[in-house]
Amino acid sequence: MGIILFDDQFRTNLLPLSFTRPVSEFRVGIFTIADKWKRYLNSEISYLTEGYLQEKYPLIIDAENLLINSAICPDKDLLDAITKIREGEALFHDQLLIAVQLNESAVKEFNINKLSPYRRVEYLNSVTRIAYPEHIFSLNGHELRKDFELLTNGRTSASLSNTNIILGDQIFVEDGVDAECSTFNSKTGPIYLGKDSIVMEGCHIRGPFALCEAALLKMGAKIYGMTTIGPHSKAGGEINNSVIFANSAKGHEGYLGNSVLGEWCNIGADSNNSNMKNNYAEVRLWDYSNENFRKTGLQFCGLIMADHAKCSINTMFNTGTVVGVGANIFGSGFSRNFVPDFSWGGSQGREVYLLKNMFETAMKVYARRNIDFNEMDQKILTHIFELTEQYRRF
């Protein structure tokens, strides 16, 4: 049976992070949502997403198919309910479509706004759903614990050097990990160190925490719980309850808290974000779907930075700042709470970051990872540039 993860009508609530990927490619916990479903179902998956993303994230339709909402994280109870539905049946949680089983012709006609033909099955338990960008960090601790159990059950951890101080017994070390003279406190939650990851000397880490494959913690990093550093990313300074996707860098001193960084981001040295307002008021975030600021219900909410965004040294981010795809921020003073996609500048003024200039930078960044910045990626970014033109009316 084909497993298809579909983006529903609420994906616009997850912009700008969902501009460059299906929602199932969000990392929350140790894995991306797609990787979680692969492991729970022991199956490969394909994607039903926006047309301009479909070439990079292909859709594969089999004779029989199980379509699963890409914003929902799996657990054992939900897996049991999903595997029990039959062709033409749809599993709902209140008004939210969780999954539907369809044959090949029905998949081709699938429309998220026309669900009446399906036989409705109710799921009464709670679900873990990434409905807004801030859910990535606010649910990260919960998902870290689940993923740690899923990944380590029945396996034996590699050992760490005796130069390290280890508190608690919830630590799992993959092969190739290099860690010296650091402290790991897993009494507060599990700690996972991925294959070939590096923890330089003098780091202090409290769980729950994940350092994914080939990721790097710089010397003296202070990492609080509910934090994930994605594959091939670099991190340093002080980080609390944040998620950094793959291939990004926050390698220097400075604070990052209650935040999400996409892929190919770079945070300059001594840059900081505020994660709480001076008056302790509820934080609002820019919302692309209604083109206004939305209440989050959170007192702590920092920076949401989309793919390919970068900032210079000593950049200051206000509480609840959203930075769009490909933005490049520099200059003194606090940045605005919404930095439009493909903008160039800071509080002293902005202009359009031309695609040809942005592409030149991306090529150099990809080359450092021995990755080709190919035509497919350029086409996606060009489409996003055109989609976001309305926000760049400087």
Assign 3-class secondary structure to 54-108: CCCCCCCCCCEEEEEECCEECCHHHHHHHHHCCCCEEEEECCEEEEEEEEHHHHH
List Cα–Cα distances, 39 to 35, 235, 240, in angstroms.
6, 27, 28
Beta-strand relationship, 171-173 and 191-193: parallel
* Residue 84 sits in the same domain as residue 184: no
- pTM for the structure as a whole: 0.96
Mean pLDDT, consecutive 10-residue stretches, the chain (394 aa), reads 96 98 98 98 97 97 97 97 95 96 95 90 97 98 98 96 97 98 98 98 98 98 98 98 98 97 98 96 96 96 98 96 97 91 91 96 94 96 97 85
Of 290, 194, 302, 288, nearest to 250 (Cα)? 302
Residue 229's domain comprises 135-391
Of 73, 75, 66, nearest to 43 (Cα)? 66
**Residue-wise pLDDT tens digits, 24-81:** 999 999 999 999 999 999 999 999 999 999 999 999 999 999 999 999 999 999 999 9
In angstroms, rounded to a whole number, what is the distance separating the alpha carbons of residues 112 and 6? 9
* Residue 101 sits in the same domain as residue 221: no
Domain boundary among 83, 109, 131: 131
Residue 366 belongs to domain with CATH number: 2.160.10.10
* Residue 113 sits in the same domain as residue 259: no
**How many domains does the chain divide into?**
2
* Residue 94 sits in the same domain as residue 156: no
Residue 49 belongs to domain with CATH number: 3.90.550.10
Burial class (CB in 10 A: 0-12, 13-18, 19+), 153: exposed
Domain boundary among 69, 103, 131: 131
Domain boundary among 131, 152, 172: 131
How far is CA 352 from its chain centroid? Answer: 26
Of 175, 178, 211, nearest to 192 (Cα)? 211
List Cα–Cα distances, 307 to 10, 14, 38, 58, 304, in angstroms.
20, 13, 24, 20, 10
